[in-house]
Amino acid sequence: MDQRPLFLMTDPSCFDVSYQINPWMKPTAWRPEHAATAQTASGDLRASLQEAGAHVETIGAVRGLPDLVFPANAAVVLDGKVLLARFRHPERQGEEAVFRSVFTRLRSRGLVRELIDLPEGVLQEGAGDAIWDARRGLFWVGHGPRSTRSSVKAIARTFGREVVGLELASDRFYHLDTCFCPLSGGEVLYYPEAFTAQALATIRERLPEPQRIEATADDAAAFCVNAVNLDADLIMARAPAALKARLAAHGYRLIEVDLAPFILSGGAAYCMTLRLDRTSDAHPAILAAE
Ligand code: ARG
């Protein structure tokens, strides 16, 4: 059995910004030369994951589905169970059938176990809005701009684990992964302004002060909260110096990748990947590896 962390990524050959479904997306700012920089950026992210000890499965691009490069939105995956996403915007709904066949193939290779559909009427945009906190053994679930409030219960029922719902207050931070990132040491990097007052109260109630790392508006706009964490390694888009220093003080090793073309679509490191090997008993394994 391969014990390496396993991630899904997508070939960026069909990536562009040709429609607008979040305020970061500006189709008029997209230049043909961004296609080449996107290839480099995606390759650099894959190499960083591999250097950090992960294995990456890459799926093919599909013309007309530029946001397929954000597989975090494909599904919520835990213990081999795959809860398939249902997208809010018609622009991304074509991805649903593609990801279903991707997961069917992954199941036939034994890389996931079971495919599950959301209940009727529930919208849920995958791990972008349902982040597994391995340290606490729970899901943090964002809802509002994309996923519906009803997704909170659907995730709890599917996985039988604790789920904490957090309502997002702004269209700029439309997925939880743009503003909330649980870290291996128990800290959470998050951007307070992205949340409703109630969600913020929930976060502060759940996390003792020393575990809260509050991102600034600059950190959030640089998409640094959208990070991949593997033990002490933290892979993210180019970060402001002050954030780097704060994360280093908590013992994290920052691996920066220039993800500029993907930021033009409102995404970065975390949502360009989907972790497939998470299990609900990961907690002791992570402590043993430290
Ligand atoms: N353009 C994509 C969208 O608006 C970006 C998705 C980024 N994904 C994420 N989980 N933050 O849907």
Residue 287: predicted pLDDT:
36
Mean pLDDT, the chain, integer: 96
Residue 282: predicted pLDDT:
56
Delineate the domains of the chain, giving CATH numbers in brackets.
Answer: 6-275 (3.75.10.10)
Residue 95: predicted pLDDT:
98
Between the CA of 267 and the centroid of ligand 1 the distance, in Å, is 5
Rounded to the nearest 5°, which phi and psi values hold at 229?
-115, 125
Q: Considering 34, 143, 175, 224, which one is annotated as catalytic?
A: 175
Residue 281: predicted pLDDT:
80
Q: Confidence class of residue 21 from pLDDT cuts 50, 70 and 90? A: very high
Percent of the chain with pLDDT over 90: 96
Cβ of residue 22 lying under 6 Å from some atom of ligand 1: yes
Predicted TM-score (pTM) of this structure? 0.95
Tens digits of residue pLDDT in 244-258: 999 999 999 999 999
Among 23-37, 159-173, 272-286, where is mean pLDDT lowest? 272-286
Tens digits of residue pLDDT in 209-240: 999 999 999 999 999 999 999 999 999 999 99
Which of 10, 20, 22 to mutate to test ligand 1, by most ligand atoms within 8 A of the CB atom?
22
Cβ of residue 131 lying under 6 Å from some atom of ligand 1: no
Residue 32: predicted pLDDT:
93
Q: Give the residue carrying structure tokens 């919520």.
A: 76
Residue 2: predicted pLDDT:
80
Residue 283: predicted pLDDT:
45
| Secondary structure element (H or E) that encloses residue 21, with its range | none
Which of 86, 173, 265, 275 to mutate to test ligand 1, by most ligand atoms within 8 A of the CB atom?
265
Respond yes or no: is residue 143 known to be catalytic: no
Tens digits of residue pLDDT in 160-172: 999 999 999 999 9
DSSP letter (8 states) at residue 117: P
Tens digits of residue pLDDT in 88-126: 999 999 999 999 999 999 999 999 999 999 999 999 999
Region 160-186: mean pLDDT is 97
Between the CA of 69 and the centroid of ligand 1 the distance, in Å, is 9
Q: How far is CA 2 from CA 75, 133, 147, 148, in A?
A: 22, 22, 33, 36
Residue 1: predicted pLDDT:
65
pLDDT at residue 285 tops 50: no
**CA-wise closest residue to 98 among 109, 84, 79, 112:** 84
Token pair for 96? 């649903």
